[in-house]
Structure 1
Amino acid sequence: MSDQNPYEKLGVSEDASFDEIQDARNRLLEQYSGDTKRLEMINVAYDAILMDRLRMRQEGKIKVPERIRFPERLVQAPAKESPTKSELSNAWLQRIIDKPTPRDVLLPGAWYLGLSAISVFYQAGGDQVLQLALVLGVGIGIYFLNRKEGKFGRAVLLTLLGLIVGLITGGLVAGLLVPQMTFISMTANQFSTVLTFILLWLISSFLR
């Protein structure tokens, strides 16, 4: 093997590409792993080929790629940046908040406005009318939310959450505002119902 030229020692032709030379060297290093003398001979042959290619380049016979002249230079891909908290927050909001069309706002708004008017001005029915209006309001909210993306369970959850928050908040606020609203005759239950309708309208219009 000592009489062979560097190309023959690696088992490649003199016009072999750099990739072929590199593969041959790696294959031989793996094949003779543990044989120090043979490994040294392989590396010497590889270095001799590199020097021969550089000489040929200086003579203008070939163009040596950068990876032959600088095999230790590794091109590292730029690290992928992790999304910031602000970007994650914006993505979460985009999944929750909708950009409704005027129709998406006005149509449920008209329904809830009508239910609010019935709740305030039709006092003869008492609390039964309010309960019926709330049931209709929940159904309307579920319908319009489900119509956007077809997620019925999500629509039910958001609507019921709006109902609970609206009734609780309305009950607390009614005790403060209703006694001062002398310009209109409204009970605490009516005020709470109207406030709930406003919240359900916001949810069905601006959430998805």
Structure 2
Amino acid sequence: MTAEDACKLLDVQPAASFEEVLQAKNRKLALVDGDTEKVVAIEAAYDILFMRSMKKRITGELEVSSSVRYADVPAAPKRGSVVKAPKQGGMGGIGGLGSSSKASAPKLPASGLPVGFAVPGNQQVLLTQCGVFGGLAVWALVQALLESPDAQLGDTAGLQTALALGYAVYSLRENKKMGLGKATALTFGCLFAGALIGTGIETWLRVDIVPIGNFGSPGVFVSEVVIALVALGAIFLV
């Protein structure tokens, strides 16, 4: 399902706000009278438009109120602010280099975190991480397979996903010696990336319509991708 199809299904304009999309979804759900296929289609259309709105907010394509500070929207620079150039000593600042080397050290940009990739050297830690994340993924899958088709449609493996996020933060702090802020930011970055990728793949596969064996839960499918991305982040990001 494309964004255009989602707009047609919910009867909203392409430039509709998040509140308008949410109201349209609730109106549609109130009219379907429990029709499972229609409910799934409406929820899928809402998810697509919601993800598109989030992407536009993060990239700055969507204007938001400047009077409210959103966590996922970079702060706009204040008008009239002047960026002061660092003071330099004589001869291009060479004279004051020794006494101000700490003060003049380059600072990290406020708009992002320094992120790198590294192959884990401790095999025992790697096996533990694979065991924990793999166990959570298998648990979510088995739980969905043991449910009825109707119950699978509403399952999202929320508990397993939350445990994966918590363990990822713990693993990054314990094994990579990261601060809590950076570990949390990287973990939720992997969560967001996994949700986008999982939703895109599920929209193409539509496991709710064409199940994979006995598995037909869109929510659990997306959660499996999220757990996989969070696991890769905890193992390889530094």
State the TM-score, normalizing by the size of structure 1.
Answer: 0.49
State the TM-score, normalizing by the size of structure 2.
Answer: 0.44
Larger radius of gyration: 1
Which is richer in helix?
Answer: 1
